[in-house]
């Protein structure tokens, strides 16, 4: 585990054992209300991978990172860009889940020159959140934490995953989660997403009720040359619910970037 100060706050991140500037760097960005633990089934895959550097971050206000989080996806993008500059990262492959996918797309639009590719998991060009959800998070977070797991995960997902997700929400807290969801609700790049020019893989779950697979299909239609993979039987947390399949798909995609 490593730490760096960004904008006066401690940022916690996990990185691979050996960093080689000649290799691409896989950078994982979690979603709203979550932390680096989102990627628990990917950490082992990348930590000692011979062909890639690896970094997974806790966004501000959760996990091991300080600060209070932000109120827009643009602010998270700016923060991530400052992190990238601080570590002088190049040849980056972004993997973003949900809100993290929004962050990845904004960075791809603004700084395609530092990216080799994007992998977008369970995300969309617009990330609307129901008003009732926002009100529940704001006024009765305990209830939200009880009901959210069954909405986030597919019916056949392990109860252990749902309970770990609930714990993650409780650890993050209502304030950060609320503003993360506000950030999602205000995110809309439907008119700009076609300007993304980096190689892109889109992964959607066919049982995802938060970012339905039609969101992935829209991205695929708009992003020239993109690839779309639909994971059958998966809800919103594809990387956990169908970890083996998810990992196989992203490794097959990433193999094209090995020199």
Phi then psi for residue 203, to 5 deg, are -125, 125
Strand partners, 55: 15, 27
pLDDT (average), residues 183-208? 98
Q: How confident is the model at residue 208 (pLDDT cuts 50, 70, 90)?
A: very high
- Structure confidence at residue 19 (pLDDT): 86
Max CA pair span of the chain: 52
List domains and CATH numbers for the chain: 2-257 (3.40.50.1820)
What residues contact residue 151 under an 8 Å CB cut-off, 6+ apart?
209, 210, 235, 236
What's the chain's average pLDDT? 95
Q: How confident is the model at residue 16 (pLDDT cuts 50, 70, 90)?
A: confident
What angle (nearest 5°) sits at the alpha carbon of residue 186, between those of residues 214 and 206? 20
Enter the tokens of residue 101: 């996918």
Phi then psi for residue 130, to 5 deg, are -60, 140
pLDDT at 39 over 80: yes
pLDDT (average), residues 192-217? 98
Q: pLDDT tens digits, residue range 77-136?
A: 999 999 999 999 999 999 999 999 999 999 999 999 999 999 999 999 999 999 999 999
DSSP annotation of 198 reads: S
Q: Which residue has the higher pLDDT, 17 or 100?
A: 100
What residues contact residue 25 under an 8 Å CB cut-off, 6+ apart?
52, 53, 54, 55, 89, 90, 91, 92, 93
Question: How many Cα neighbours within 13 Å face the side chain of 118?
Answer: 34
Number of Cβ within a 10 Å radius of residue 243: 17
Q: How confident is the model at residue 259 (pLDDT cuts 50, 70, 90)?
A: low
The Cα 103–Cα 256 span in angstroms is 23
- Structure confidence at residue 83 (pLDDT): 96
């Amino acid at each position: 585990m490593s730490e760096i100060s960004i904008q006066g706050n401690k940022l916690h991140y996990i990185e691979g054992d050996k960093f080689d500037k000649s290799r691409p760097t896989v950078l994982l960005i979690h979603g709203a209300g979550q932390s680096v633990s989102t990627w628990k089934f990917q950490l082992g895959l990348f930590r000692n991978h011979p062909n890639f550097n690896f970094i997974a971050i806790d966004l501000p206000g959760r996990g091991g990172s300080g600060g209070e989080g932000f109120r827009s996806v643009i602010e998270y993008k700016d923060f991530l860009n400052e992190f990238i500059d601080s570590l002088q990262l190049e040849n980056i492959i972004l993997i973003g889940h949900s809100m993290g996918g929004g962050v990845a797309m904004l960075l791809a639009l603004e700084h395609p020159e530092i990216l080799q590719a994007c992998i977008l998991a369970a995300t969309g060009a617009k990330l609307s959140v129901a008003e009732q959800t926002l009100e529940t998070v704001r006024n009765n977070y305990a209830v939200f934490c009880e009901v959210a797991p069954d909405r986030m995960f597919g019916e056949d997902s392990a109860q252990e995953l749902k309970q770990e997700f609930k714990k993650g929400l409780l650890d993050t807290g209502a304030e950060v989660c609320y503003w993360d969801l506000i950030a999602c609700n205000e995110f809309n790049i439907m008119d700009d997403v076609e300007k993304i020019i980096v190689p892109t893989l889109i992964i959607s779950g066919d049982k995802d009720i938060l970012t339905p697979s039609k969101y992935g299909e829209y991205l695929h239609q708009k992003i020239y040359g993109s690839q779309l993979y639909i994971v059958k039987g998966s809800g919103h947390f594809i990387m956990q619910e169908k970890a083996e399949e998810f990992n196989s798909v992203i490794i097959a995609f990433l193999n094209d970037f090995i020199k």
